[in-house]
Chains A and B, each alone.
Chain A
């Protein structure tokens, strides 16, 4: 236990800001997961691997002399089609099945992706340099890399665009209708097959954006996907499905939680505490729900 973080107000502030900037990025990935979970009732274990794949797209642009920031445009376009392809090959066969089947099937996809990325890109840890500078606040006591600010900004822009798209466009409305009641939507003439494919594609595209941002801010590696899957799962559980402000809030909350866990418990327990938090939240939910059920009885 170490309470350094509370002894220096600047560190407290730094931890909060770092956490929020990180959390916005998590929230973007989680939003994709919430969307596809809500519409298709699929839990996608390969979510994190889609993120990493998006990161590699930005990295390769960087390698060939294009500024990696363009990755946030290119990666989602490519990833959209990757998403559609995954849907056509695997996901459409597990949509109506037991959730456990979808978890295992996407786990299979996850392993496959990890390994294919390893072959295609090598196991080296890589990153794309944006060349963005650093913002110094409060007499240089709080430092914010511009790349983190950039990635938080882009995440917000994409989230807002998506919300508008969902509200205004025909496909967006079809997606929302399917999420509410797939059978009714089908009867009313919505091509649910198409909606499912598009949803999975949009989810993959969001992962692509997030991945490009991660390669600019942190590092990527073929085997780094799973922690992102778990984080987004957790955010969705806390926020509930179809609750975008909730996803954003719980994303930032998780980011801040991680930073503080790092300072207080020690870096070695940072990832462990995230998973433990997941278990605690689930157990808490179970007791809350069972009380509610009793009440209903």
Chain B
């Protein structure tokens, strides 16, 4: 049986292979602090994955060139090992496992999207690896009792409930009728839960409640129902595809609705792709460049936006800004912990209380950032057809007054 020999040599080759590929990285090598990150370079989240990566890289360069991180009297520089998670939760969990147990990474940055963060969080928790994440907003991340997960953003259920409250307020405090369409993913479904809560709080009624499959690029059926039932508010959330599809079909089908609230308008470059058709859309955002927060590295939102544009050639969506902020949080925590011990860094992270250009950051015991409200902006166009996102709420930063109700298509 020569076959057995072949197989035996095969098995022994395998053994050798596994035993030789010893951990090749470690948390701190020389003067480098190595962070691990699985982000989506391919697959359906890859455009937002790249926004995330650009945000990380921008902050790494900035921190390194401005003196690095000082721990125990020594200066360290940040470095990130990236893997491509292919927008797939299974892959993301596998890569987190690999980063920690094979590559020896001891500190992690988050991936893009709530779904992938949910896949990675159990792994980082298991190994006690502190992870600062900037793109997983799902509320369920913060109710699991994770100790090593810190999110610089506000949870997803807060994205659009301001819009519902505003609508009720403008309706003279009376409840409103809500139509909603959400994609079938962890994030959008969480935004939906937020709306459900807000509706209950204000006594509002949800008259249309559709869930859009991930592959669908047609929501005409939902909009026909909206036309027929005439709700006071239409809420749509489905990453960039949802935002683009909604605007296109609302304009084409001339759907009149007093308030249109959405997510991902800036990532979808809504005002650029749709121009005047996107006018009056109300968008939830974690960040807007006109906010007046400040820090030592990026100065403020406007400067950050300008620097980002110079480096990457486009206006930074909030996904990039929050990713940059994650690095600032890590730097701050390392310096306060004055150590690379995972427990100490974790405790320092939990005690974070700082301001960055992106907003104030202070973590609740669940890990979410409780010190930074969401902002709402509205797409507004001037006579020449140039459109801009203007903050309308909270009033503290508002640069324009909310236009409500949205003019009918026949009057535009």
Contacts and interface: CB of A to CB of B under 8 A. Distances in A.
Instruction: Determine direct contact between A and B, CB below 8 Å.
Output: yes
Interface of A: 4, 8, 10-11, 14-15, 18, 22, 115, 118, 122-127, 129, 134, 136, 140, 143, 145, 147, 218-221, 223-224, 226-227, 259, 262-263, 266-268, 270-272
A223 B43 contact: yes
Given A134-B253, A147-B252, A223-B44, A126 B273 contact: yes
Nearest to A267: B210
A219 B221 contact: no
Interface stretch (B130-138, B170-178, B241-249, B399-407): B241-249
Interface in B245-265: 245, 248-249, 252-254
Nearest to A146: B252
Contacts of B228: 4, 8, 10-11
Contacts of B215: 224, 226-227, 271
B253 A218 contact: no
A151 B134 CA distance: 42
B192 to A, nearest CB: 12
A126 B240 CA distance: 9
B179 to A, nearest CB: 12
A217 to B, nearest CB: 9
A221 B217 contact: yes
Contact of A219 (B220, B248, B253, B269): B248
A123 B45 contact: yes
B244 A219 contact: yes
B225 interface: yes
B253 A143 contact: yes
Q: Which 3 A-B pairs have the closest CB atoms?
A: A145-B252, A268-B211, A123-B46
7 contacts: A11-B224, A118-B42, A127-B248, A226-B215, A259-B221, A267-B216, A271-B215
B122 to A, nearest CB: 26
A127 B220 contact: no
Contacts of A118: 42-43, 46
Contacts of A22: 218
A262 B184 CA distance: 15
A19 to B, nearest CB: 10
B381 interface: no
Contacts of A262: 221
A221 B244 CA distance: 12
Contact of B220 (A18, A124, A140): A18
A270 to B, nearest CB: 6
A255 B139 CA distance: 37
Contacts of B268: 124-125
A268 B213 contact: yes
Interface string B89-120: 00000000000000000000000000000000
Contacts of A125: 217, 240-241, 244-245, 268
